[in-house]
């Protein structure tokens, strides 16, 4: 499979009379864009606001992030979700880089939603403060879930995907500034030189613990709760096969933007044929029952062994209960003779003193930490709030609270906030990039 991604590097986003892209300036006709949003009758209110790096803007509750893209052959950028089912990972896609469509609730937040600061102290905690964000601030008539801690957010998430494709089509007929090429040869057809290199498989564990439909990550529109571990081409993952769900404390979340730009895949491609033989992605899942966890771990190890993996990288979306899946897969791979490292965040409590993962094993001895979800973050007021700041405390955002006997409310009267890292939108970046670094003491 050969995927080409034609990149257009956005320097500024503005609203104007016509949709166009010229010399890094992306112009969007707001009315036409909102018409796409209102195609869903459940959307009751919507507006678009540009938030760029350095703006004195706080955005909450953020529900999803998507990179604007289009396919040159006219197919949907998310087959099986926003369009007919079709193969991802082959052909030409155009992408607007340095920007995202952010889906933001106008009022109601939930456990899986997060916060982004575009400047100041808070900006360092998330990559999205570095992007030109086209913020869809919207509300729906989905009364059944407005006050639920867990929300499917379907109308808003799907509106974000339609909007991202609408904006992506602005550059459909243009010549990109750069073309990335990702060619993934069949494992059995590779040269002797490549086959003699150390072989590596990437194991991804997207969020899939909810047995009810509509909360979990999707693979070609299929709820990942229904999956067994599956071997995929890495080009499929970065080309729209995977869609973020709506269930996960937010700093642990993998947004759709993360799947589209998954840095670990890009790094493995960069090393492929030079220092390693990249065998592909084993797309696994996260389960609830112990038997399900053990079954998935067994299948992952079998696939890795069957394709000849010498080593593997395992990344989990989440923490707590998913730690058991994460450690089980690492142990199964090690038992199969596959040397394995893991990528995860930790839940070590506000004081950093608790056990970092729910499940541990001596064979899981090469773990890369992406930070503590419970770390306390205190931030000053921001001039502008997009969405509703009260959502942080009132609606059960995983890092916020209405009141705390020691710390008081998350949202103070002056607009300053205190919260756990949990509520920072995609802050831990377990997929292979981070604004954080580790220090030895």
Residues forming a β-bridge with 343: 315, 368
Which stretches of 278-355 are DSSP H helices? 290-306, 321-335
State the pLDDT at residue 146. Answer: 85
Highest-scoring range by mean pLDDT, 227-236, 392-401, 426-435: 227-236
Tell me the DSSP string of 84-111.
Answer: -----SSEEEEEEETEEEEEEESS---T
Distances (CA, A) of 207 to 40, 85, 249, 286: 26, 22, 11, 6
Over the stretch 5-61, which tens digit does the pLDDT of each residue have? 999 999 999 999 999 999 999 999 999 999 999 999 999 999 999 999 999 999 999
Q: What values do phi and psi take at 271, rounded to 5? A: -90, -15
Over the stretch 77-90, which tens digit does the pLDDT of each residue have? 999 999 999 999 99
Half-sphere exposure of 227 (CA within 13 A, CB side): 28
User: Would you say residue 171 lies in a domain?
Assistant: yes
Tell me the DSSP string of 336-353.
Answer: TT-EEEEEEEE---TTS-
Over the stretch 346-373, which tens digit does the pLDDT of each residue have? 999 898 888 889 899 999 999 999 989 9
Evaluate if residue 96 carries a pLDDT over 70: yes
Q: What values do phi and psi take at 345, rounded to 5? A: -95, 180
Closest Cα to residue 104, out of 386, 425, 383, 384?
Answer: 386
* Residues 6+ positions from 306 with CB-CB distance below 8 Å: none
Tokens of 168: 């992506």
User: Would you say residue 441 lies in a domain?
Assistant: no
User: Would you say residue 432 lies in a domain?
Assistant: no
- Tell me which residue range forms the domain holding 257: 2-423
What's the total number of domains in the chain?
A: 1
Furthest-apart CA atoms within the chain: distance in Å: 66
Over the stretch 298-324, which tens digit does the pLDDT of each residue have? 999 999 999 999 999 999 999 999 999
Helix (H, G, I), strand (E, B) or coil at 187: helix
Closest Cα to residue 138, out of 33, 17, 219?
Answer: 33
């Amino acid at each position: 499979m050969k995927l080409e991604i034609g990149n257009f590097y956005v320097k500024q986003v503005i609203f104007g009379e016509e949709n166009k892209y010229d010399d890094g300036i992306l112009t969007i006709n707001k009315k036409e864009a909102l018409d796409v949003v209102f195609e869903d009758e459940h959307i009751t209110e919507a507006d678009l606001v540009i938030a760029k790096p350095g703006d004195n803007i706080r955005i909450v509750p953020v529900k999803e992030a998507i990179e604007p893209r289009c396919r040159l052959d006219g197919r949907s950028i998310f087959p099986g979700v926003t369009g007919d089912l079709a193969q991802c990972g082959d052909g030409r896609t155009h992408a607007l880089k340095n920007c995202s469509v952010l889906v933001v609730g106008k009022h109601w937040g939930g456990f899986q939603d997060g916060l982004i600061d575009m400047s100041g102290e808070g900006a360092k905690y998330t990559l999205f403060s570095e992007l030109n964000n086209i913020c869809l601030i919207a509300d729906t008539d989905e009364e059944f879930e407005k006050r639920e801690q867990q929300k499917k957010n379907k109308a808003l998430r799907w509106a974000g995907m339609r909007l991202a494709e609408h904006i992506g089509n602005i550059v459909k007929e243009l010549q990109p500034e750069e073309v990335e090429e990702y060619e993934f040869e069949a494992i059995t057809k590779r040269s002797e030189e490549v086959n003699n290199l150390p072989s590596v498989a990437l194991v991804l564990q997207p969020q899939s613990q909810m047995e009810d439909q509509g909360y979990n990550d999707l693979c070609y529109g299929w709820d990942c709760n229904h999956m067994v571990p599956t071997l995929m081409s890495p080009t499929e993952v970065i080309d729209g096969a995977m869609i973020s769900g709506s269930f996960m404390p937010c700093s642990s979340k993998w947004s759709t933007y993360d799947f589209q730009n998954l840095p670990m895949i890009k790094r493995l491609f960069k090393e492929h044929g030079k220092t390693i033989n990249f065998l592909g992605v084993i797309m696994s899942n996260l389960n609830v029952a112990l038997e399900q966890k053990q079954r998935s771990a067994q299948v992952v190890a079998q696939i890795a062994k069957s394709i000849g993996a010498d080593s593997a990288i395992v990344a989990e979306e989440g923490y707590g209960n998913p730690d058991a899946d994460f450690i089980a897969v690492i142990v199964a791979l090690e038992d199969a003779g596959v040397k394995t490292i893991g990528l995860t965040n930790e839940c070590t409590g506000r004081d950093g003193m608790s056990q970092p993962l729910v499940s541990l094993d001596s064979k899981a001895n090469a773990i890369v930490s992406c930070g503590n979800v419970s770390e306390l973050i205190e931030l000053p007021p921001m001039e502008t709030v997009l969405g509703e700041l009260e959502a942080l405390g009132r609606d059960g955002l995983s890092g916020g609270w209405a009141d705390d006997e020691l710390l008081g409310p998350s949202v103070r009267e002056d607009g300053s906030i205190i919260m756990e890292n949990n509520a920072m939108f995609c802050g831990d970046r377990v997929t292979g990039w981070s604004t954080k670094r580790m220090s030895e003491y």
